[in-house]
Amino acid sequence: MVKQYGVGLELPFEIAQRDGVVDLVGQLPIVELIPESFFFGKKDEFLEMLKKSEVPVVIHSVEMSIGSSGEFHQKHFNQIKQVMDQVNTVFYSDHLCFTKFDGIEIGQLTTLPWTKQIMDGVCDNISKIQDQTQVPFLIENITNRFVVPDSAYSETEFINRILEKTGCKMIMDLANTYINSVNFGFDPYKWIDEINLDFVEGVHLAGGDEEDGVLYDSHGSNIPAPVWDLYAYLAAKKTPQFTIVERDQNIPTFEELMHEVKVANGILEKSAMPGLSESIGQVRREARSL
Ligand SMILES: [Fe+2]
């Protein structure tokens, strides 16, 4: 039977430094770390605390740049591995994008052209990661600032083909799905329907910000109602192995963060009740057809 970890929190560096973080970790069934924040022995004592607490950890890197065709950043991966080895890592993930081109740092998660050539490069890089890790690897959908014209595939086709070719899993970031649906004007429920959910083992929930009518994935506010609705819709179709609430800016009190964890748990529990998941799905389908 597939292990269900439940709902946890991302622990950015700012949270790692706060008083009470040991108690916070004690309340969580799983946590997520961005390894680049902990390179070079930074906050080693925090990683030791996590190890001792036995809390399962999702290592979620931001700079492996798996979309850089023909470039595998082995040095960077070795540093990530060091952090993975310092805690109880149960999953490793990064984003389906590129952050480096010809070895030069771009400084942000950048949308890939959804083409066969790029797909092959991504699959090569994923295989190299899978060959060097003991835990499942997952890719995450990003917020697109643009879409490359004349791509051969839709985003969902591109993702599905990579999942099916490599056997890697997916973190579905529903905040990113929602933001893209608003910025590019598509139906996020249909987007979820198009993804092969057999591969979706993780979910990210977060809040964003709006500027001049455009939404951004700032991770700087509470999770908005449309993202909760998408979560209920997904949970009715598939129980992910883990869900992570992500908050990197304007970080509130631990009580407020735990409130969002509890709301997510409530949605998961309801969706696990016989018959209710059907009715949630039905409500969402009806809402979409309005
Ligand atoms: Fe995310």
Ligand 1 center to 121 CA (angstroms):
22
Ligand 1 center to 275 CA (angstroms):
30
pLDDT at position 41 is 78
Mean pLDDT of 79-85: 96
Ligand 1 center to 176 CA (angstroms):
7
Is the model's pLDDT at 103 over the cut of 90?
no
Confidence of residue 249 (pLDDT cuts 50, 70, 90): confident
Ligand 1 center to 69 CA (angstroms):
22
Residue 195, Cβ density class (10 Å: 0-12 exposed, 13-18 middle, ≥19 buried)? buried
Ligand 1 center to 215 CA (angstroms):
15
Ligand 1 center to 175 CA (angstroms):
8
Share the mean pLDDT of the chain: 92
Residue 62, Cβ density class (10 Å: 0-12 exposed, 13-18 middle, ≥19 buried)? middle
Ligand 1 center to 246 CA (angstroms):
7
pLDDT at position 290 is 41
pLDDT at position 274 is 54
Is the model's pLDDT at 5 over the cut of 60?
yes
Alpha carbon distance 241, 135 (integer Å): 13
Is the model's pLDDT at 288 over the cut of 60?
no
Give percent above pLDDT 90 in the chain. 78
Q: Is the backbone of residue 215 left (phi > 0), alpha (psi -120 to 50) or beta?
A: beta
Confidence of residue 222 (pLDDT cuts 50, 70, 90): very high
pLDDT at position 281 is 52
CA distances from 85 to 5, 49, 51, 181, 240 (A): 20, 14, 10, 37, 24
Confidence of residue 104 (pLDDT cuts 50, 70, 90): confident
- Out of 2-6, 8-12, 38-42, 183-187, pick the least confident: 38-42
Alpha carbon distance 139, 155 (integer Å): 13
Confidence of residue 216 (pLDDT cuts 50, 70, 90): confident
Give 277 or 252, the one with higher predicted confidence.
252
pLDDT at position 208 is 85
Q: Which amino acid is at 152?
A: A
Ligand 1 center to 196 CA (angstroms):
18
- Give all domains of the chain, ordered by start, each with its CATH number: 6-289 (3.20.20.150)
Mean pLDDT of 46-64: 96
pLDDT digits (tens, 9 = 90+) for 113-134: 999 999 999 999 999 999 999 9
pLDDT at position 171 is 98
Pick the closest to residue 182 from 227, 243, 219, 247 (CA basis).
227
Is the model's pLDDT at 289 over the cut of 60?
no
Mean pLDDT of 28-44: 91
Ligand 1 center to 217 CA (angstroms):
9
Is the model's pLDDT at 244 over the cut of 90?
yes
